Amino acid sequence: MQNLLPEATPRANGRGAAHRAGWTVALFLMTTFATLSPACAQNGAVDKPAPAARKLSAQVIMTRESFNGWNDAYKLSNGTAEVVIVPQIGRIMRFGFVGAPNLLWTNDAESGKPGVATGGWRNFGGDKPWPWSQDDWTKWFGADWPPPPEADQLPQTVTLVGTGTVRLVSPTIPKIGCRIVREITLAETGARLFITTHLERVTDANTDPVSAWTITQTPFTRTPLVAHLDTSGTTFAEGWRVMGDKQPVKSVKRSDDGVLLMVERDPEAKGGRKLGFDGDSITGVIGDTLLTIRADSPGAKNFDWRPGERGQIYISDAGAPYIEWEFTSPLIALKKGESATLHTTFEAVRLPMDISAMPAMEAAARGSQSKGKKQ
């Protein structure tokens, strides 16, 4: 059953009150939230229309509405930017400026469909979490594909935390005894989105090291992607390595100071290509918008990750025109009640079409903007 009532206290190990001291996000919330029956919770539908929104204090509005065929989506808007969360498929399906194109890629062919519970996988698009490492999936799940359905195919419970955060909780992934908990907050102003992803051990069924892994699908960018490297920790002479099925990745350049990677598409590629790098941000331009995603894990240093796993970029072929911006937390052996945690921050900035994008991208990748801190 979905719990749609605000909780009194945020999670202690997430971006809770201590992290947001002095930073308050307000919501226009519903006058009443209907608690779903078990049957409705299973298919993500609402049993009656959501009531009108009501202003509580400041800038962020939350409404429940349909999105691309899913009946029960949650939209947060601060008047400048908006994010849409679809609990039925456990994903963020929209982020961007109000009235502007979606910065996330969505698969129109799968719109409104339920996830696949067994034996398959629907590529809905958007932003989603999986358990890392994929190298262990065959051991855990019997095959290296598809992902466990609990991560991004089955309905997730949704709760309001404090005054400005939506929390999603996945079903337990039985083979590894973990569940995924995500806390999603839109900044009070501007176009910044804060996501905390926990891979939380809930049983002792498996004690293998695990970590949180986020995958954000966007349309093809009109510029190369720029990735920021942690030069104190990388072990690669070129700053990156090939991942996945080992198809070659062309057109990758490293800046003269060794801090940045420029990654271009290969229009002649027949399949997807993937690279891994030891770094903490990816930047690209989608239409007229510069998008940066930054990632960090509390207390971790770069050598805590296995080489080339901290940041990852997957470029699909032209038949499915999207790029995946991926990050992981360090692998860690968890006891029951412990979590592997990954913070990701999305920041969007309007970029006039007649302005050279590369200097702005390099500045964003180097952290010359807000570095994801809530202000």
Can you tell me the mean pLDDT for 145-157?
A: 96
Quick one: CA dihedral 137, 143, 148, 152, positive or negative? positive
CATH number of the structural domain 27-365: 2.70.98.10
**Is pLDDT at 18 greater than 80 in this prediction?**
no
Token reading at 133: 């490492």
pTM of the model: 0.84
Identity of the residue numbered 269 = A
| Spans of all domains in the chain | 27-365
**Is pLDDT at 50 greater than 50 in this prediction?**
no
**Is pLDDT at 25 greater than 50 in this prediction?**
no
Query: pLDDT tens digit string along 62-94?
Result: 999 999 999 999 999 999 999 999 999 999 999
**Is pLDDT at 20 greater than 90 in this prediction?**
no
Q: CA-CA distance, 91 to 106, in Å (whole number)?
A: 11
> 196, 182 in Cβ contact below 8 A?
yes
Query: pLDDT tens digit string along 305-329?
Result: 999 999 999 998 767 889 999 999 9
What is the pLDDT at residue 334?
96
Token reading at 332: 């860690």
Comparing 51-55, 105-109, 214-218, which segment has the lowest mean pLDDT? Answer: 51-55
Place of tokens 């719990």: 3
